[in-house]
Chains A and B, each alone.
Chain A
Amino acid sequence: QVQLQASGPGLVKPSQTLSLTCTVSGGSISSGGYFWSWIRHLPGKGLEWVGYIFDSGTTSYNPSLKSRITMSVDTSENQFSLKLTSVTAADTAVYYCARLPLSWNEGFDPWGQGTLVTVSS
């Protein structure tokens, strides 16, 4: 079965760039049929969809973050990545990667374990 695991620095300084990678195992990113997604859980504010990338590189981002996000995919490594620039304390969150089927109204499944990113000097 497909498993996802997010990884990256747990501490990022304000104004710097947050960089995370999600490694997919048990299946190929290139198999098609899925949007590879990032979701974050903001403390005290709930879950927020960040964006997705298709294996072709096509992306869709949350408009609230669009100016600061870049997502990329490395099919040879079976990974996809997130970069968020100019971070502030408001970007402190647990970041999850998850798979969303092309019939995206079926929900995110599975989710990776999540990685806590704290923005602080």
Chain B
Amino acid sequence: DIQMTQSPSSVSASVGDRVTITCRASQGIGSWLVWYQQRPGKAPKLLIYAASSLQSGVPSRFSGSGSGTDFTLTIRSLQPEDFATYYCQQANSFPLTFGGGTKVEIK
């Protein structure tokens, strides 16, 4: 199975800050990387697929980049509704696997 490692596990930030989350795959996955946002008590929501393609309806302050084994999710100008946990998921091969999550907390 492909292992997905996210860092940091948590980050404290203020409204308006730029936040970057990293996801590393244990082997190359091309651009087959998906990002989700999960607010407390809610189901995960698809943000980005194919490493950098923004899902319809997702604000443009979210962006993704990377290929191979190293990927990043960037939130430009953090908004109050962005305080949540973010997960990456490899979409290269089954079994599909997820990172451990990064919690974005209010500073």
With an 8 A cutoff between CB atoms, is B62 at the interface?
no
Asked if A105 meets B32 with Cβ closer than 8 Å, knowing A46-B87, A111-B45, the reply is yes
Residues of B within 8 A of A111 (CB): 43-45
Contact B95 A107 (CB under 8 A): no
Number of A-B pairs whose CB atoms are under 8 Å?
59
Query: In chain A, what residue has the closest Cβ to B94?
Result: A60
With an 8 A cutoff between CB atoms, is A63 at the interface?
yes
With an 8 A cutoff between CB atoms, is A96 at the interface?
yes
Residues of B within 8 A of A31 (CB): none
Residues of B within 8 A of A46 (CB): 87, 98-101
Chain B at the A interface: SS class: loop
Identify the interface centre among A46, A63, A112: most chain B CB within 10 Å of its CB.
Answer: A46
Contact A107 B101 (CB under 8 A): no
Query: In chain B, what residue has the closest Cβ to A106?
Result: B49
A 95-121 to B, binary, CB cutoff 8 A, 1 in contact else 0: 010100000111111111110000000
Contact A106 B95 (CB under 8 A): no
Say which residue of A47, A63, A106, A113 sits within 8 Å of B91 (CB atoms): A106
Which of B50-97 touch A at CB < 8 Å? Answer: 50, 55, 87, 89, 91-92, 94-97
Residues of B within 8 A of A96 (CB): 43-44
With an 8 A cutoff between CB atoms, is A67 at the interface?
no
With an 8 A cutoff between CB atoms, is B46 at the interface?
yes
- Nearest first, the 4 A-B pairs at minimum CB distance are A107-B34, A105-B91, A111-B43, A47-B98
Selected A-B contacts with CB under 8 Å, 22 pairs? A46-B99, A46-B101, A47-B98, A64-B95, A96-B44, A98-B43, A104-B91, A105-B32, A105-B34, A105-B49, A106-B50, A106-B91, A107-B34, A107-B36, A107-B89, A108-B34, A108-B44, A108-B46, A109-B46, A110-B43, A111-B44, A113-B43
